[in-house]
Amino acid sequence: MTSQPPPPPQPGAHAVPTCYRHPERETYVRCQRCARPICPDCMREAAVGHQCPECVQEGNREVRQARTTFGGAVVAAPRVTWALLALNVLAYAAEVVNQNEVIQRFAMYSLGVHLGEWWRLITGAFLHSPPPSFWHILFNMWALYVIGPELERRLGSTRFAALYLLSALGGSVAIYLFGTVAVGASGAIYGLFGALFVVSRKLGYDARGVLWLIGINVVLTFVVPGISWQGHLGGLLTGTLVAAGFAYAPRGNRVLVQVGVAAVVLVALVLLVTALPPYGYPPVGIRT
């Protein structure tokens, strides 16, 4: 038994509408925005009816994205803070496995940097006093855990990452110029202390508690033996300058000014290392 093909449409008959993205599929649903026919696979829920994928994407581009007080993208979870915590803990685990190798190759060492081992300027800021000393990494990671999420949510993840790394670099450059050997994230942590003060002042909060925190830690820097004052003060100064540039950038061209401040600080730190020799004395300790 054979079947006959359907007769051709009569003149004047209406064609069956098909999805504009899948012409083989019949549909009687149209996009509420552009009125093109769409099949169930192309339907996207809208406030009223459905929209096609292209109209949804266009609408998303037109929606103004929420920003933080200082221009960064809104942070739902402080992922940069957690990543920095993880990197520090992993570096400490590497010290536990092979202490001598890790310290010798990656600690901040002024003469090594002067001879071309530039990576020490950053890697040294992720190391800490090796076992059996644990208070060093515990204090720094506790401070990062307490301060980091608040600053990251205020500044945005990208700006917070730049603040942390530039503060760490600033501490290492100060060690290069006036110290000798050191390890520790304290340069970056002190940079966060300075940034917390700047942000608090900018937002109109009472910053006296932050000043007490900074003052006590600065005193401890010079009272407790074996601590690198160069790394602490270098990180504090750098973090304060970077945070001031981020917080007080004019709204009209905020991003340009913020990027410019970070770039100027980075270039200045690099020039200090390339143009000046280390002036430090023989090593007296390795903690920062």
> Over the stretch 140-175, which tens digit does the pLDDT of each residue have?
999 999 999 999 999 999 999 999 999 999 999 999
Dihedrals phi, psi of 249, to nearest 5 degrees: -65, 135
Q: Indicate which residue of 50, 128, 136, 232 is catalytic.
A: 232
Same domain, 50 and 87: no
Domain containing 22 equals 16-54
C-alpha 180/C-alpha 231 separation (Å) is: 11
Same domain, 45 and 120: no
Same domain, 89 and 40: no
Residue 94 DSSP SS3? helix
Residue 177's nearest CA partner among 130, 222, 237 is 237
Question: Domain with 233 in it: what CATH number?
Answer: 1.20.1540.10
Q: How many CB atoms lie within 10 A of CB 158?
A: 17
Q: Up-side HSE of residue 38: CA atoms within 13 Å toward CB? A: 21
CB 173 within 8 A of CB 165: no
Same domain, 187 and 226: yes
Q: Write out the DSSP string of 111-137.
A: HHHHTT-TTHHHHGGG--PPTT--HHH
Same domain, 33 and 83: no
Cα-based angle 287, 276, 236 (whole degrees, multiple of 5): 40
Question: Is 114 part of the annotated catalytic residue set?
Answer: no
Helix (H) or strand (E) holding 154: helix 135-155
Q: Counting every residue, how long is the chain?
A: 288
The pLDDT of residue 48 is above 60: yes
If one compares 217 and 265, the residue with the highest pLDDT of the two is 265
Same domain, 30 and 161: no
Q: Indicate which residue of 157, 186, 200, 228 is catalytic.
A: 186
Q: Please give the structure tokens belonging to residue 125.
A: 């800021």
**Segment 91-142, tens digit of pLDDT:** 999 999 999 999 999 999 999 999 999 999 999 999 999 888 888 999 999 9
Question: Is 157 part of the annotated catalytic residue set?
Answer: no
C-alpha 142/C-alpha 157 separation (Å) is: 19
pLDDT value at residue 7? 55
pLDDT value at residue 65? 59
Number of structural domains the chain divides into: 2
